[in-house]
Amino acid sequence: MHIEWYQTVSLVFVITQLYFLEFIRRNNQHNLKRKDKDSLNDYRPNVYLTIPCKGLDTEFEKNISAFFKLAYPNYHLSFVVESEDDPAFPVLSRLKREFAGQTKALSVQVGVAGVSENACQKTHNMLHSLKFVPEDTEVLAFADSDARPLPEWLGSLVHPLKQEKKVGASTGYRWFIPIDGNIPVLFLSILNAKVAQILGKSRFNQAWGGSMAIRKDLFYKLDLHKIWQTCVSDDLTLSLQVLKAGYRIRYSPLCMVASYEAFTWKRLFDFIYRQLMITRVTSPIVWFLGVIASLFSVCGSWGALIYGIYGLANSLPSAYYALGTSLIFFAAMSVRAYWRQKTMQNLLYRYREDIQKYSIYDITLSSIVSLFMIVFLFVSAFGRTITWRGVRYKMISAYRAKRIRN
Protein backbone atom coordinates (compact mmCIF):
# COMPACT_ATOMS: atom_id res chain seq x y z
CA MET A 1 0.00 0.00 0.00
CA HIS A 2 1.43 3.33 -1.10
CA ILE A 3 1.34 6.17 1.43
CA GLU A 4 1.56 9.72 0.15
CA TRP A 5 3.85 12.27 1.80
CA TYR A 6 0.95 14.39 3.00
CA GLN A 7 -0.62 11.40 4.74
CA THR A 8 2.61 10.81 6.66
CA VAL A 9 2.97 14.49 7.59
CA SER A 10 -0.65 14.67 8.72
CA LEU A 11 -0.31 11.52 10.81
CA VAL A 12 2.85 12.78 12.54
CA PHE A 13 1.22 16.12 13.38
CA VAL A 14 -1.98 14.53 14.69
CA ILE A 15 -0.23 11.87 16.82
CA THR A 16 2.08 14.48 18.35
CA GLN A 17 -0.84 16.78 19.08
CA LEU A 18 -2.87 14.00 20.71
CA TYR A 19 0.15 12.98 22.78
CA PHE A 20 0.51 16.55 24.05
CA LEU A 21 -3.22 16.66 24.79
CA GLU A 22 -2.91 13.51 26.90
CA PHE A 23 0.15 14.94 28.67
CA ILE A 24 -1.80 18.05 29.67
CA ARG A 25 -4.76 15.94 30.85
CA ARG A 26 -2.52 13.85 33.11
CA ASN A 27 -0.68 16.94 34.30
CA ASN A 28 -3.92 18.61 35.38
CA GLN A 29 -4.96 15.49 37.26
CA HIS A 30 -1.55 15.27 38.92
CA ASN A 31 -1.69 18.91 40.05
CA LEU A 32 -5.13 18.51 41.58
CA LYS A 33 -3.96 15.45 43.52
CA ARG A 34 -0.68 17.13 44.47
CA LYS A 35 -2.60 20.05 45.93
CA ASP A 36 -3.77 17.96 48.88
CA LYS A 37 -0.31 16.50 49.58
CA ASP A 38 1.43 19.87 49.65
CA SER A 39 -1.18 21.27 52.04
CA LEU A 40 -0.12 18.83 54.81
CA ASN A 41 1.15 20.38 58.04
CA ASP A 42 3.95 17.91 58.84
CA TYR A 43 6.86 20.14 57.81
CA ARG A 44 7.14 23.64 59.27
CA PRO A 45 10.75 24.90 59.12
CA ASN A 46 11.64 28.49 59.95
CA VAL A 47 11.28 30.55 56.77
CA TYR A 48 12.68 33.93 55.78
CA LEU A 49 10.42 35.48 53.12
CA THR A 50 11.83 38.29 50.96
CA ILE A 51 9.69 40.52 48.74
CA PRO A 52 11.60 43.11 46.68
CA CYS A 53 9.51 46.14 45.73
CA LYS A 54 9.86 49.01 43.29
CA GLY A 55 7.02 51.42 42.73
CA LEU A 56 3.36 50.67 43.30
CA ASP A 57 1.99 47.69 41.40
CA THR A 58 -1.67 47.50 40.47
CA GLU A 59 -3.60 46.73 43.70
CA PHE A 60 -0.30 46.90 45.59
CA GLU A 61 -1.86 47.12 49.06
CA LYS A 62 -4.10 44.08 48.51
CA ASN A 63 -1.12 42.05 47.32
CA ILE A 64 1.12 43.04 50.22
CA SER A 65 -1.66 42.54 52.77
CA ALA A 66 -1.97 38.91 51.63
CA PHE A 67 1.61 38.24 52.79
CA PHE A 68 0.74 39.51 56.27
CA LYS A 69 -2.20 37.07 56.36
CA LEU A 70 -0.30 33.86 55.58
CA ALA A 71 -1.40 30.87 57.65
CA TYR A 72 2.14 29.85 58.53
CA PRO A 73 3.53 30.01 62.07
CA ASN A 74 7.29 30.26 61.56
CA TYR A 75 8.17 32.96 59.07
CA HIS A 76 9.96 36.29 58.98
CA LEU A 77 8.73 38.86 56.48
CA SER A 78 11.13 41.21 54.73
CA PHE A 79 10.23 43.91 52.21
CA VAL A 80 13.03 45.75 50.42
CA VAL A 81 13.06 48.92 48.30
CA GLU A 82 15.84 50.85 46.59
CA SER A 83 15.35 54.04 48.58
CA GLU A 84 12.95 55.78 50.93
CA ASP A 85 11.88 57.91 47.96
CA ASP A 86 10.26 54.85 46.40
CA PRO A 87 6.43 55.24 46.52
CA ALA A 88 6.25 51.74 47.98
CA PHE A 89 8.24 52.65 51.09
CA PRO A 90 5.60 54.71 52.96
CA VAL A 91 2.87 52.23 52.02
CA LEU A 92 4.92 49.29 53.32
CA SER A 93 5.75 51.17 56.51
CA ARG A 94 2.08 51.96 57.11
CA LEU A 95 0.97 48.37 56.47
CA LYS A 96 3.64 47.15 58.87
CA ARG A 97 2.14 49.35 61.58
CA GLU A 98 -1.45 48.38 60.74
CA PHE A 99 -0.75 44.64 60.87
CA ALA A 100 1.28 44.79 64.07
CA GLY A 101 -0.12 42.10 66.35
CA GLN A 102 -2.41 40.78 63.59
CA THR A 103 0.06 38.67 61.60
CA LYS A 104 1.67 35.31 62.29
CA ALA A 105 4.99 36.64 60.99
CA LEU A 106 7.65 36.44 63.71
CA SER A 107 9.12 39.72 62.48
CA VAL A 108 8.48 42.28 59.76
CA GLN A 109 11.03 44.64 58.32
CA VAL A 110 11.08 47.22 55.54
CA GLY A 111 14.63 47.57 54.30
CA VAL A 112 16.39 50.08 52.03
CA ALA A 113 19.03 48.53 49.80
CA GLY A 114 20.39 51.54 47.93
CA VAL A 115 21.09 51.73 44.21
CA SER A 116 22.63 48.69 42.53
CA GLU A 117 26.02 49.45 41.00
CA ASN A 118 26.42 46.18 39.10
CA ALA A 119 23.38 44.29 37.96
CA CYS A 120 19.65 44.04 38.55
CA GLN A 121 18.07 46.21 41.23
CA LYS A 122 15.77 43.33 42.13
CA THR A 123 18.54 40.86 42.98
CA HIS A 124 20.44 43.66 44.72
CA ASN A 125 17.42 44.26 46.96
CA MET A 126 17.06 40.54 47.64
CA LEU A 127 20.71 40.14 48.64
CA HIS A 128 20.41 43.14 50.96
CA SER A 129 17.46 41.45 52.66
CA LEU A 130 19.44 38.23 53.15
CA LYS A 131 21.97 40.07 55.32
CA PHE A 132 19.40 39.98 58.11
CA VAL A 133 18.41 36.30 57.96
CA PRO A 134 18.17 34.82 61.49
CA GLU A 135 20.57 31.97 62.30
CA ASP A 136 17.80 29.44 62.87
CA THR A 137 16.32 29.98 59.38
CA GLU A 138 16.13 26.78 57.33
CA VAL A 139 14.35 27.94 54.17
CA LEU A 140 14.62 31.09 52.05
CA ALA A 141 11.45 32.04 50.21
CA PHE A 142 10.91 34.78 47.63
CA ALA A 143 7.86 36.48 46.16
CA ASP A 144 6.97 39.45 43.95
CA SER A 145 4.94 42.47 44.96
CA ASP A 146 2.46 41.94 42.10
CA ALA A 147 1.53 38.49 43.46
CA ARG A 148 -1.44 37.72 45.69
CA PRO A 149 -1.01 34.36 47.43
CA LEU A 150 -3.52 32.13 49.18
CA PRO A 151 -3.22 31.85 53.00
CA GLU A 152 -1.74 28.32 52.67
CA TRP A 153 0.76 29.43 50.02
CA LEU A 154 3.91 29.45 52.16
CA GLY A 155 3.22 26.10 53.81
CA SER A 156 2.68 24.51 50.40
CA LEU A 157 5.80 26.19 49.02
CA VAL A 158 8.16 24.76 51.64
CA HIS A 159 6.57 21.29 51.88
CA PRO A 160 8.35 19.80 48.80
CA LEU A 161 11.72 20.78 50.34
CA LYS A 162 11.16 18.05 52.90
CA GLN A 163 12.69 15.69 50.33
CA GLU A 164 16.20 17.08 50.81
CA LYS A 165 18.04 14.55 48.66
CA LYS A 166 15.83 15.02 45.61
CA VAL A 167 14.21 18.46 45.58
CA GLY A 168 16.49 21.48 45.39
CA ALA A 169 13.86 24.18 44.99
CA SER A 170 10.10 24.55 44.97
CA THR A 171 8.03 26.95 42.94
CA GLY A 172 4.59 28.17 42.01
CA TYR A 173 3.56 30.41 39.14
CA ARG A 174 1.26 33.33 38.40
CA TRP A 175 -2.19 33.57 36.88
CA PHE A 176 -3.01 36.95 35.37
CA ILE A 177 -6.48 38.31 36.02
CA PRO A 178 -7.52 41.44 34.06
CA ILE A 179 -8.91 44.34 36.05
CA ASP A 180 -12.17 45.59 34.53
CA GLY A 181 -11.62 43.48 31.43
CA ASN A 182 -8.31 45.13 30.55
CA ILE A 183 -7.63 43.79 27.03
CA PRO A 184 -3.79 43.78 27.10
CA VAL A 185 -3.80 41.74 30.33
CA LEU A 186 -6.51 39.47 28.93
CA PHE A 187 -4.19 38.83 25.99
CA LEU A 188 -1.28 38.24 28.37
CA SER A 189 -3.31 35.91 30.58
CA ILE A 190 -3.92 33.59 27.60
CA LEU A 191 -0.21 33.52 26.71
CA ASN A 192 0.71 32.97 30.34
CA ALA A 193 -1.83 30.17 30.75
CA LYS A 194 -0.11 28.20 27.98
CA VAL A 195 3.04 28.15 30.12
CA ALA A 196 1.23 27.46 33.39
CA GLN A 197 -0.40 24.31 32.01
CA ILE A 198 3.00 22.64 31.48
CA LEU A 199 4.14 22.96 35.10
CA GLY A 200 3.62 19.91 37.25
CA LYS A 201 4.92 16.38 36.87
CA SER A 202 7.39 17.53 34.27
CA ARG A 203 11.11 17.86 33.67
CA PHE A 204 10.41 21.30 32.23
CA ASN A 205 9.76 22.90 35.63
CA GLN A 206 11.63 26.16 36.15
CA ALA A 207 11.62 28.23 39.30
CA TRP A 208 9.62 31.46 39.07
CA GLY A 209 10.90 34.33 41.21
CA GLY A 210 7.45 35.48 42.27
CA SER A 211 6.84 32.24 44.16
CA MET A 212 9.91 30.14 44.96
CA ALA A 213 11.83 28.66 47.89
CA ILE A 214 15.15 26.94 48.51
CA ARG A 215 16.88 25.59 51.61
CA LYS A 216 19.28 28.15 53.05
CA ASP A 217 22.29 25.83 53.11
CA LEU A 218 21.79 24.86 49.47
CA PHE A 219 21.39 28.50 48.42
CA TYR A 220 24.87 29.32 49.69
CA LYS A 221 26.35 25.99 48.59
CA LEU A 222 25.33 26.80 44.99
CA ASP A 223 26.94 30.28 45.27
CA LEU A 224 23.69 32.03 44.44
CA HIS A 225 24.65 34.84 46.82
CA LYS A 226 27.58 35.54 44.47
CA ILE A 227 25.79 34.92 41.18
CA TRP A 228 22.97 37.32 42.05
CA GLN A 229 25.49 40.14 42.44
CA THR A 230 26.00 40.36 38.68
CA CYS A 231 22.97 38.80 36.99
CA VAL A 232 19.52 40.02 35.90
CA SER A 233 17.37 36.95 36.44
CA ASP A 234 17.03 35.63 39.99
CA ASP A 235 14.81 32.67 39.13
CA LEU A 236 16.44 31.35 35.95
CA THR A 237 19.93 31.46 37.47
CA LEU A 238 18.58 29.66 40.53
CA SER A 239 17.01 27.06 38.22
CA LEU A 240 20.29 26.60 36.33
CA GLN A 241 22.29 26.07 39.51
CA VAL A 242 19.78 23.71 41.11
CA LEU A 243 19.44 21.53 38.01
CA LYS A 244 23.18 21.58 37.35
CA ALA A 245 23.74 20.23 40.86
CA GLY A 246 21.47 17.28 40.11
CA TYR A 247 18.39 18.39 42.05
CA ARG A 248 14.81 18.68 40.86
CA ILE A 249 12.55 21.72 40.92
CA ARG A 250 9.17 20.78 42.35
CA TYR A 251 6.09 22.70 41.26
CA SER A 252 3.54 23.06 44.05
CA PRO A 253 0.02 23.71 42.66
CA LEU A 254 -1.21 25.64 45.71
CA CYS A 255 1.66 28.05 45.19
CA MET A 256 -0.02 29.57 42.17
CA VAL A 257 -0.62 33.24 42.86
CA ALA A 258 -3.15 35.63 41.38
CA SER A 259 -1.82 38.71 39.65
CA TYR A 260 -4.46 41.39 39.13
CA GLU A 261 -3.22 43.79 36.49
CA ALA A 262 -4.14 46.53 34.04
CA PHE A 263 -1.56 47.14 31.28
CA THR A 264 -1.20 49.52 28.39
CA TRP A 265 -0.30 47.88 25.08
CA LYS A 266 3.23 49.30 25.33
CA ARG A 267 3.72 47.86 28.78
CA LEU A 268 2.43 44.50 27.54
CA PHE A 269 4.89 44.39 24.63
CA ASP A 270 7.76 45.48 26.90
CA PHE A 271 6.84 42.80 29.44
CA ILE A 272 6.68 39.94 26.92
CA TYR A 273 9.86 41.03 25.15
CA ARG A 274 11.73 41.25 28.46
CA GLN A 275 10.60 37.81 29.63
CA LEU A 276 11.53 36.15 26.35
CA MET A 277 14.84 38.01 26.09
CA ILE A 278 15.87 36.99 29.60
CA THR A 279 14.93 33.40 28.82
CA ARG A 280 16.91 33.39 25.54
CA VAL A 281 20.09 34.66 27.17
CA THR A 282 19.82 32.80 30.48
CA SER A 283 18.29 29.53 29.30
CA PRO A 284 18.60 29.29 25.49
CA ILE A 285 17.49 25.65 25.36
CA VAL A 286 14.17 26.51 27.02
CA TRP A 287 13.74 29.45 24.63
CA PHE A 288 14.51 27.28 21.60
CA LEU A 289 12.04 24.61 22.73
CA GLY A 290 9.45 27.38 23.00
CA VAL A 291 10.16 28.41 19.41
CA ILE A 292 9.79 24.82 18.18
CA ALA A 293 6.56 24.27 20.12
CA SER A 294 5.05 27.54 18.87
CA LEU A 295 5.99 26.84 15.26
CA PHE A 296 4.54 23.34 15.50
CA SER A 297 1.28 24.68 16.93
CA VAL A 298 0.86 27.40 14.31
CA CYS A 299 1.83 25.13 11.40
CA GLY A 300 -0.56 22.40 12.54
CA SER A 301 -3.48 24.79 12.97
CA TRP A 302 -3.28 27.94 10.83
CA GLY A 303 -0.72 26.58 8.39
CA ALA A 304 -2.76 23.44 7.74
CA LEU A 305 -5.95 25.49 7.43
CA ILE A 306 -4.47 27.84 4.83
CA TYR A 307 -2.96 24.97 2.87
CA GLY A 308 -6.26 23.06 3.06
CA ILE A 309 -8.20 25.98 1.61
CA TYR A 310 -5.59 26.38 -1.11
CA GLY A 311 -5.78 22.63 -1.79
CA LEU A 312 -9.56 22.70 -2.15
CA ALA A 313 -9.35 25.59 -4.59
CA ASN A 314 -6.87 23.62 -6.69
CA SER A 315 -8.43 20.16 -6.26
CA LEU A 316 -5.42 18.72 -4.42
CA PRO A 317 -5.98 15.34 -2.72
CA SER A 318 -3.95 16.51 0.27
CA ALA A 319 -6.49 19.25 1.07
CA TYR A 320 -8.76 17.07 3.19
CA TYR A 321 -5.86 15.74 5.24
CA ALA A 322 -4.69 19.28 5.90
CA LEU A 323 -8.16 20.45 6.91
CA GLY A 324 -8.61 17.43 9.15
CA THR A 325 -5.28 18.12 10.84
CA SER A 326 -6.23 21.76 11.32
CA LEU A 327 -9.57 20.83 12.87
CA ILE A 328 -7.90 18.49 15.37
CA PHE A 329 -5.35 21.16 16.33
CA PHE A 330 -7.97 23.87 16.88
CA ALA A 331 -10.15 21.49 18.90
CA ALA A 332 -7.19 20.34 21.01
CA MET A 333 -6.23 23.95 21.81
CA SER A 334 -9.74 24.68 23.06
CA VAL A 335 -9.89 21.48 25.11
CA ARG A 336 -6.56 22.25 26.78
CA ALA A 337 -7.72 25.78 27.53
CA TYR A 338 -10.91 24.42 29.09
CA TRP A 339 -8.95 21.97 31.26
CA ARG A 340 -6.45 24.54 32.52
CA GLN A 341 -9.20 27.04 33.31
CA LYS A 342 -11.08 24.44 35.36
CA THR A 343 -7.89 23.39 37.14
CA MET A 344 -6.96 26.95 38.00
CA GLN A 345 -10.43 27.74 39.33
CA ASN A 346 -9.94 24.80 41.67
CA LEU A 347 -6.44 25.81 42.80
CA LEU A 348 -7.03 29.56 43.15
CA TYR A 349 -10.41 29.00 44.77
CA ARG A 350 -10.56 32.45 46.38
CA TYR A 351 -10.42 34.07 42.97
CA ARG A 352 -12.61 31.53 41.18
CA GLU A 353 -15.28 34.00 40.07
CA ASP A 354 -12.77 36.42 38.57
CA ILE A 355 -10.98 33.62 36.72
CA GLN A 356 -14.25 32.13 35.50
CA LYS A 357 -15.38 35.50 34.18
CA TYR A 358 -12.62 35.51 31.54
CA SER A 359 -12.16 31.78 30.91
CA ILE A 360 -14.25 31.81 27.72
CA TYR A 361 -11.66 34.06 26.05
CA ASP A 362 -8.89 31.55 26.64
CA ILE A 363 -11.04 28.72 25.27
CA THR A 364 -12.06 30.57 22.11
CA LEU A 365 -9.07 32.81 21.37
CA SER A 366 -6.13 30.61 22.35
CA SER A 367 -5.34 29.68 18.75
CA ILE A 368 -5.33 33.33 17.64
CA VAL A 369 -3.01 34.40 20.45
CA SER A 370 -0.59 31.65 19.37
CA LEU A 371 0.03 33.58 16.16
CA PHE A 372 1.31 36.57 18.09
CA MET A 373 3.60 34.38 20.18
CA ILE A 374 5.58 33.53 17.05
CA VAL A 375 6.10 37.24 16.40
CA PHE A 376 7.28 37.89 19.97
CA LEU A 377 9.70 34.97 19.84
CA PHE A 378 11.13 36.22 16.55
CA VAL A 379 11.67 39.74 17.92
CA SER A 380 13.29 38.39 21.11
CA ALA A 381 15.91 36.60 18.99
CA PHE A 382 17.70 39.92 18.51
CA GLY A 383 19.44 42.25 20.94
CA ARG A 384 20.40 41.95 24.60
CA THR A 385 19.05 45.15 26.14
CA ILE A 386 15.95 45.20 28.34
CA THR A 387 14.12 47.75 30.47
CA TRP A 388 12.89 46.60 33.86
CA ARG A 389 10.89 48.94 36.06
CA GLY A 390 12.42 52.02 34.48
CA VAL A 391 16.02 50.77 34.52
CA ARG A 392 17.89 49.55 31.41
CA TYR A 393 20.19 46.55 31.48
CA LYS A 394 22.45 44.88 28.93
CA MET A 395 22.58 41.13 29.33
CA ILE A 396 26.10 39.84 28.69
CA SER A 397 25.55 36.22 29.71
CA ALA A 398 23.31 34.11 31.93
CA TYR A 399 25.30 35.19 34.97
CA ARG A 400 26.36 38.67 34.04
CA ALA A 401 24.59 41.89 33.15
CA LYS A 402 25.40 45.57 33.08
CA ARG A 403 23.23 48.39 34.30
CA ILE A 404 22.99 51.13 31.69
CA ARG A 405 22.98 54.62 33.10
CA ASN A 406 20.03 56.74 31.97
Higher pLDDT, 219 or 393: 219
**Of 332, 335, 307, 331, whose CA–CA distance to 321 is shortest?**
307
Strands 75-81 and 47-52, bridge-based pairing = parallel
Radius of gyration of the chain from its Cα atoms, rounded to whole angstroms: 22
In this structure, is residue 231 part of a structural domain?
yes
Domain span at residue 231 reads: 30-263
Residue 70 has what pLDDT? 96
- Judged on CB neighbours under 10 Å (0-12, 13-18, 19+), 83 is exposed
Residue 191's identity, in one-letter code, is L
Residue 118 has what pLDDT? 74
In this structure, is residue 191 part of a structural domain?
yes
In this structure, is residue 298 part of a structural domain?
no
Query: Which segments of 62-210 are extended strands (E)?
Result: 75-81, 107-112, 139-143, 167-171, 174-178
pLDDT digits (tens, 9 = 90+) for 1-22: 455 777 888 999 999 999 999 9
Residues 166, 167, 168, 169, Cα dihedral to 10°? 170
Residue 41 has pLDDT above 80, yes or no: no
Distance from C-alpha of 382 to C-alpha of 276, rounded to nearest angstrom: 11
**Of 18, 6, 70, whose CA–CA distance to 44 is shortest?**
70
In this structure, is residue 358 part of a structural domain?
no
Residue 285 has pLDDT above 70, yes or no: yes
Mean pLDDT value across residues 201-225: 92
What pTM value is reported for the model? 0.92
**Of 176, 136, 338, whose CA–CA distance to 267 is shortest?**
176
In this structure, is residue 74 part of a structural domain?
yes
Contacts of 169 (CB under 8 A, 6+ apart): 161, 207, 212, 213, 214, 238, 239, 242, 247, 249, 250
Report the greatest alpha carbon distance in the chain. 79
Indicate the number of domains in the chain.
1
Q: In this structure, which long-range contacts are made by residues 350-357, counting pairs with CB atoms below 8 Å and at least 24 apart in sequence?
A: 350/150, 350/258, 351/148, 351/175, 351/177, 351/258, 354/177, 354/258, 354/260, 355/175, 355/177
CATH number, position 228: 3.90.550.10
Question: Of 2-16, 123-137, 187-201, 313-327, which gets the smallest average pLDDT?
Answer: 2-16
In this structure, is residue 225 part of a structural domain?
yes
Question: Of 107-116, 146-155, 201-210, which gets the smallest average pLDDT?
Answer: 201-210
In this structure, is residue 54 part of a structural domain?
yes
Contacts of 165 (CB under 8 A, 6+ apart): none
In this structure, is residue 58 part of a structural domain?
yes
